[in-house]
């Protein structure tokens, strides 16, 4: 039986839950029990849990232990990549941060997403939620999740997550022998020029984005 097949003897409501989970997981969204219950009008999460447990027992869905959003498609482990959502990054004026390594999850329950690794290049390490519109000409919009590969190195012209005076921002890097400039991709914003001796570090390079409808 193909992973996309639905057993003929599956109860209609369970088949509908399976179809819902397949659609959400294929889009990189791992629904919580509360979200499944809400989608189907269940009175509590217990009903959603019974359907999920039955689908896991039948091998139609897989579940990572100890994770609130641990559901995933069976047989997809080779192509799916778990990416933690570590916080927010400004696409506009920089937002305060203590560095990506110390950022916590954006919200309870959204600690990681399972995404197709083929969507990104290079391979990312984490996701950050964009706040602002300074990168719209590069197709990076307010509310998008940007995938980032953590590295202190970047080439001229790459889009990077940078820390300037303890604040994080996403911009296009312009680097010459004499200066570093962080370029917005929206004419309403001015470039950020990094001055001599200013606290500056590359936290990572942009690998792609996820836009959740």
φ/ψ of 163, rounded to 5, equals -110, 120
Catalytic residue list contains 68: no
DSSP for 18-57, written as a single string: HHHHHHHHHTT----HHHHHHHHT-SSHHHHHHHHHHHHH
The CA-based angle 49-55-60, given to 5 degrees, is 145
Catalytic residue list contains 171: yes
DSSP tally for the chain: helices H, then strands E: 3, 12
Closest by alpha carbon to 165, among 151, 146, 182?
182
- Choosing from 32, 50, 121, 134, the catalytic residue is 134
Q: How many Cα atoms occupy the beta-carbon half-sphere of 80 within 13 Å?
A: 22
Return all residues near 120 (Cβ < 8 A) that are at least 6 apart: 81, 147, 207, 208
- Choosing from 32, 50, 68, 171, the catalytic residue is 171
Report, as residue numbers or ranges, the catalytic residues. Answer: 134, 171
């Amino acid at each position: 039986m193909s992973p996309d097949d639905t057993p003929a003897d599956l109860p209609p409501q369970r088949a509908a839950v399976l179809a819902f989970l397949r659609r959400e997981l294929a889009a990189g969204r791992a629904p919580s029990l509360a979200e499944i219950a809400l989608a189907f009008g269940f009175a509590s999460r217990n009903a959603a849990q019974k359907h999920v447990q039955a689908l896991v027992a039948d091998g139609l869905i897989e579940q990572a232990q100890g994770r609130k959003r641990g559901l995933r498609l069976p047989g997809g482990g080779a192509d799916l990549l778990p990416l933690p959502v570590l916080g927010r990054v400004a696409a506009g004026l920089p937002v305060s941060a203590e560095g990506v390594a110390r950022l916590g999850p954006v919200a309870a329950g959204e600690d990681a997403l399972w995404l197709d690794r083929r969507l990104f290049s290079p391979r990312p390490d984490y996701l950050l939620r964009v706040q602002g519109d300074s990168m719209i000409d590069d197709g990076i919009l307010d509310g998008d999740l940007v995938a980032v590969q953590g590295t202190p190195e970047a080439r001229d012209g790459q889009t990077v997550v940078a820390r300037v005076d303890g604040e994080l921002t996403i911009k296009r890097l312009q680097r010459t022998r004499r200066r570093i400039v962080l370029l917005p991709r929206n004419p309403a914003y001015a470039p950020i020029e990094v001055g001599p001796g200013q606290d500056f570090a590359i936290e990572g390079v942009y690998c792609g984005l996820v836009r959740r409808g």
